[in-house]
Chain A
């Protein structure tokens, strides 16, 4: 038992307790949390900083506004509904199209059909706070449904794969791509059974994947190799992640991005308590990377410089 702990420590693996006390509590002041916990606010801040985000179709903030839903999405066949203060991908509904016969029946990413009534009920639940971190009443966001880049076509089952970059004091420290599976119900959440694959920081090429804490070579549903994919716009993704530090002020930050077929990388959301599974996906410890960043830390460096330094430093 102790032997395992010692080996993990040597590899520089970060544990939950250490993450919480040494990084989150030290580097992420509570007053800045709303910037990332409220996705509506995150979107606003990112837009103001000139970053690319999925278009917002509308916000439903009160129970009474739920009936406005058909009007808000009248011009769109596909859209995403998400709670503004949700966590871990809970409560997100991805609508990819409408039924051909009835306009008020929608098709989900899983292929299931869902009526307008059911969507309204889901919106009520979101507004009531069922998915919010604090249990307080919440807002529901209706936004553009990302058309993901064909590079991921073979390695995702429904849903949208996304890229998670952990940024330490403005320096990208580690990255992975999260690939939805049948088990994860199309959600890009490792917790729910999505495949995570580490990304080589220098080259932007994927490494082996991880499924439920075990290393896997190929996607469980499509059978395609997970490793060796070249992430497009890699440099831009790292720069945007680095820039997210200026936008949020959080020293320990997870930035979630998606690559849209037409619009390129978009910032989806940010997280003040990014999970530790990224270490398994990369087969590397976060603490070691953080120590390297501390050693070369330069408060005056610009986002683009920091991204370049991360690409240069993390070659393993």
Chain B
């Protein structure tokens, strides 16, 4: 009965721990490893203009639907301007307003994005576009071209490809030549293409985007052609007709409207700068989780102040030390002083490093023990004697620190990190065992303590484990489950096999 509860509890803890872990890892994208960093691009658009005499209103198209990318954050830098984000016909628009401004003005809009394949076009299906009103003789050219292309294509995609092929032909037919006369920018070219597609009743629009590279001081917006085939949006390279998107193509805005409009200003210039840097995947996952409104992350340790985080990165490893303790005591059967003394010593080793930790600890205990034997002759009562040992330990720490500093060994300074009360108790326990059970037992238990401390230190010092526990504290539920199960382990301890060896021989 009892046993079954233990198994149920352990299973429950394991399931809760693992499912939380899986959710954070797979759904929220928290990284398993320590140094996982993702590239994050910060794109800055600077709007420069000369202010006029009256009120100024600046409107800028900003990214709305960005297939392949997810926004980390966005902000605007504009001194004295009122700022708002609105939805317009072509997506989101940032708007800055000010009653009065003098001289040249610069407004910055900054957005940080990272790659996320799960983001796709979630746009609504557009209606069939109205037949564009085109004056003669262009209208005839359009009709001839459209019917010609339609004859040579099977569906929307092949129609678009064929159309673009013709428009890009080195020796274009007269109709194309007529239509493209007076076109000098790529976006005008794509504009003509959308008009032609509209004439064929195919929804199409221009997308303006930035191919994100390692970092560009002056990035150029690239116009691309987007065509809806009744099902989803397809992307076409306007200069080749191929159906594709450039690598890491970040869509800024869609449509024929100008990128920026400034009322009350002149000589408007927009400049894009792209900066790539690597950000901790944890930070990205947290922002993402906040966007998904996953309340579980409100309790994440990364939301704590850095100093507190540092404390918890150590504290969270104590259960691992306790687990080592359980294994050493209940499964292997090593004698040690105090239940958790070795774990606390192992914590101190974190600061002193292993070698010096062992040396300093042994030195302190040995010195303390010899002074404890001197105190024994004074016949002090128990509590005053313990206090005397504690004071001696403190003085010894001071002595060791000063001596090693004089000798130029800075590691000796970290001796002050040892838990002195624990050391004083250890010395007292050890001296009692020494007297009652003899030096052999006392030294054996002392060595056992150090052995466990070293193993606990090695286990608690594993960087990947520390990161894993810190990012996924719910894994401690698994540790708890193991400890609970170990609490019902009724098998032999490893040292008992040797102890009862004589009984197993027959």
Decide yes or no whether B487 CB sits under 8 A from chain A. Answer: yes
Residues of chain A within 8 A (CB-CB) of B493 are 15-17
Task: Contact check, B432 vs A13: say whether CB atoms are below 8 A apart.
Answer: no
Q: Interface-forming stretch among B109-117, B163-171, B256-264, B496-504?
A: B496-504
Given contacts A8-B492, A17-B330, A17-B490, contact A192 B504 (CB under 8 A): no
**Docked CA distance A279–B382 (Å):** 37
Q: Which of A17, A117, A125, A283 contacts B492 (CB 8 A)?
A: A17
**Docked CA distance A13–B502 (Å):** 11
Decide yes or no whether A48 CB sits under 8 A from chain B. Answer: no
**Docked CA distance A142–B383 (Å):** 23
7 inter-chain pairs at a CB distance below 8 angstroms, sorted by A residue, are A5-B497, A15-B493, A15-B496, A17-B330, A91-B436, A117-B379, A125-B382
Task: Contact check, B491 vs A279: say whether CB atoms are below 8 A apart.
Answer: no
Quick one: CB contact mask for A1-29 with B, threshold 8 Å, 1 for yes? 10011011101010111100110000000
Residues B400-445 near A (CB distance < 8 A): 432, 436-438
Chain B residues with a Cβ under 8 A of chain A? 330, 333, 379, 381-383, 432, 436-438, 487-494, 496-506
Decide yes or no whether A285 CB sits under 8 A from chain B. Answer: yes
Residues of chain B within 8 A (CB-CB) of A192 are 436-438
Task: Contact check, B491 vs A90: say whether CB atoms are below 8 A apart.
Answer: no
**Docked CA distance A192–B436 (Å):** 8
Residues A110-146 near B (CB distance < 8 A): 117, 121, 124-125, 128-131
Task: Contact check, A4 vs B504: say whether CB atoms are below 8 A apart.
Answer: yes
State the Cβ distance, B136 to closest chain A Cβ, in Å. Answer: 97
Residues of chain A within 8 A (CB-CB) of B501 are 4, 213
Of the candidates B330, B333, B432, B492, the one having the most CB atoms from chain A within 10 angstroms of its own CB is B492
Decide yes or no whether A215 CB sits under 8 A from chain B. Answer: yes
Given contacts A121-B379, A130-B382, contact A285 B491 (CB under 8 A): no
The 8 closest A-B pairs by CB, nearest first: A128-B382, A18-B490, A7-B504, A15-B492, A121-B379, A4-B497, A90-B436, A8-B504
Q: Which of B381, B489, B497, B500 contacts A280 (CB 8 A)?
A: B500
- Not counting A4-B501, A7-B504, A128-B382, a sample of 6 additional A-B residue pairs whose C-beta atoms are within 8 angstroms of each other reads A63-B381, A128-B383, A129-B382, A213-B498, A279-B503, A283-B503
Task: Contact check, B381 vs A213: say whether CB atoms are below 8 A apart.
Answer: no
Decide yes or no whether A214 CB sits under 8 A from chain B. Answer: yes
Of the candidates A63, A91, A130, A192, the one having the most CB atoms from chain B within 10 angstroms of its own CB is A130
Residues of chain A within 8 A (CB-CB) of B492 are 5, 8-9, 13, 15, 17
Residues of chain A within 8 A (CB-CB) of B330 are 17
Decide yes or no whether A191 CB sits under 8 A from chain B. Answer: yes
| Number of residues of chain A lying within 8 A (CB) of chain B | 37
**Docked CA distance A131–B433 (Å):** 10
Task: Contact check, B500 vs A8: say whether CB atoms are below 8 A apart.
Answer: yes
Residues of chain B within 8 A (CB-CB) of A279 are 500, 503
Chain A residue nearest in CB terms to B505:
A7
Task: Contact check, B502 vs A17: say whether CB atoms are below 8 A apart.
Answer: no
**Docked CA distance A5–B495 (Å):** 11
Given contacts A8-B497, A214-B502, contact A22 B490 (CB under 8 A): yes
**Docked CA distance A63–B381 (Å):** 9
Task: Contact check, A285 vs B497: say whether CB atoms are below 8 A apart.
Answer: no
Task: Contact check, A17 vs B491: say whether CB atoms are below 8 A apart.
Answer: yes
Residues of chain B within 8 A (CB-CB) of A121 are 379
**Docked CA distance A237–B11 (Å):** 48
Task: Contact check, B382 vs A18: say whether CB atoms are below 8 A apart.
Answer: no
Given contacts A15-B493, A22-B490, A121-B379, contact A215 B504 (CB under 8 A): no
Of the candidates B382, B383, B437, B497, the one having the most CB atoms from chain A within 10 angstroms of its own CB is B382
Residues of chain A within 8 A (CB-CB) of B381 are 63, 124-125, 128
Task: Contact check, B436 vs A21: say whether CB atoms are below 8 A apart.
Answer: no
Chain A residue nearest in CB terms to B438:
A192
State the Cβ distance, A280 to closest chain B Cβ, in Å. Answer: 6
Residues of chain B within 8 A (CB-CB) of A210 are 502
Task: Contact check, B503 vs A18: say whether CB atoms are below 8 A apart.
Answer: no
Q: Which of A5, A13, A21 contacts B490 (CB 8 A)?
A: A21
**Docked CA distance A191–B445 (Å):** 14
Residues of chain A within 8 A (CB-CB) of B506 are 11, 283
State the Cβ distance, A63 to closest chain B Cβ, in Å. Answer: 7
Residues of chain B within 8 A (CB-CB) of A91 are 436
Q: Which of A1, A90, A124, A215 contacts B502 (CB 8 A)?
A: A215
Q: Which of B432, B494, B499, B504 contacts A11 (CB 8 A)?
A: B504
Task: Contact check, A21 vs B488: say whether CB atoms are below 8 A apart.
Answer: yes
Residues of chain B within 8 A (CB-CB) of A9 are 492
Task: Contact check, A21 vs B382: say whether CB atoms are below 8 A apart.
Answer: no
**Docked CA distance A137–B345 (Å):** 28
**Docked CA distance A284–B504 (Å):** 9
Task: Contact check, B503 vs A285: say whether CB atoms are below 8 A apart.
Answer: yes
**Docked CA distance A44–B156 (Å):** 102
Residues of chain A within 8 A (CB-CB) of B502 are 210, 213-215, 280, 283
Task: Contact check, A130 vs B432: say whether CB atoms are below 8 A apart.
Answer: yes
**Docked CA distance A128–B428 (Å):** 13
**Docked CA distance A213–B501 (Å):** 8
**Docked CA distance A9–B502 (Å):** 13
Task: Contact check, B333 vs A16: say whether CB atoms are below 8 A apart.
Answer: yes
Residues of chain A within 8 A (CB-CB) of B500 are 8, 13, 213, 276, 279-280
Residues of chain B within 8 A (CB-CB) of A5 are 491-492, 497
Q: Which of B438, B488, B491, B504 contacts A15 (CB 8 A)?
A: B491
State the Cβ distance, B372 to closest chain A Cβ, in Å. Answer: 12
**Docked CA distance A280–B432 (Å):** 27
Chain A residue nearest in CB terms to B487:
A21
**Docked CA distance A302–B379 (Å):** 50
Residues of chain A within 8 A (CB-CB) of B491 are 5, 15, 17-18
